A and B are shown apart, each in its own frame.
Chain A
Amino acid sequence: NAGVTQTPKFQVLKTGQSMTLQCAQDMNHEYMSWYRQDPGMGLRLIHYSVGAGITDQGEVPNGYNVSRSTTEDFPLRLLSAAPSQTSVYFCASSRDRMVTEAFFGQGTRLTVV
């Protein structure tokens, strides 16, 4: 059972570079979301999607873009990386409503220098 798969696990970027964090789930979940985790800040929602073709902003969306062309995939794009985006990023999926169990990926540790 793969669940939620995130790639890469680790990444170092230079300021101003762009990149895409990949997230894929094989549970046919409708809801997918991206969080960032910073020390003392908990999990903060970046963007989320309630189904293919539908996305919306979370608490900290600036500097990030998402798209949802298929049910399985929900990539997160950093347009022009900044040191403030150094964080651990988690992708999560849920079966239907947001209130059901969220399954998280293993995370991507991103460092922007």
Chain B
Amino acid sequence: QQQVKQSPQSLIVQKGGIPIINCAYENTAFDYFPWYQQFPGKGPALLIAIRPDVSEKKEGRFTISFNKSAKQFSLHIMDSQPGDSATYFCAASRADDKIIFGKGTRLHILP
């Protein structure tokens, strides 16, 4: 019940394409769903986050889509660029509890 399942494990997209990374969760008590971006040799950094009272959130070229009934959420990257190549982690947490991370998606954007 504490798991966050992330797919795909790796993804290759041409520049300008729209990579989509999906996550699913079981615990309906989760109320915070962040995405972290990690470049090689660096620590993860918060990219964008959503709470379950909204179905979509956009920040620049990054969009989270949230489906509460299906217990799924996804990250879309519009007009992807080679600089977006990184590992992306979805995560979930509930009030005053630990963050549960997905296993990560290695994204490579071809120039």
Q: How far is the CA of A104 from the CA of B41 in the complex (A)?
A: 12
- Contact mask for chain B residues 81-98; partner A; CB cutoff 8 A; 1 contact, 0 none: 000000001000111111
Size class of the contact patch on chain B: 20 to 34
Bound form: Cα–Cα A104–B47 in Å: 13
- Among candidates B9, B45, B96, residue contacting A40 with C-beta atoms closer than 8 Å: B9
Main secondary structure on A side of the interface with B = strand
Residues B34 and A101 in contact, CB atoms below 8 Å apart = yes
Q: Chain B 23-35 against A: per-residue CB contact (8 Å), 1 yes, 0 no?
A: 0000000011010
Chain B residues near A97: list those with CB within 8 A: 95-96
B43 to A101, Cβ gap below 8 A?
no
- Given A42-B103, A43-B101, decide whether A99 and B93 contact each other with a Cβ distance below 8 A: yes
B44 to chain A, nearest CB (A): 5
* Distance between Cα atoms of A90 and B104 in the complex (Å): 15
Asked if residues A98 and B96 are in contact (CB atoms below 8 Å), the reply is: yes
CA separation between A90 and B101, bound complex, in Å?
Answer: 13
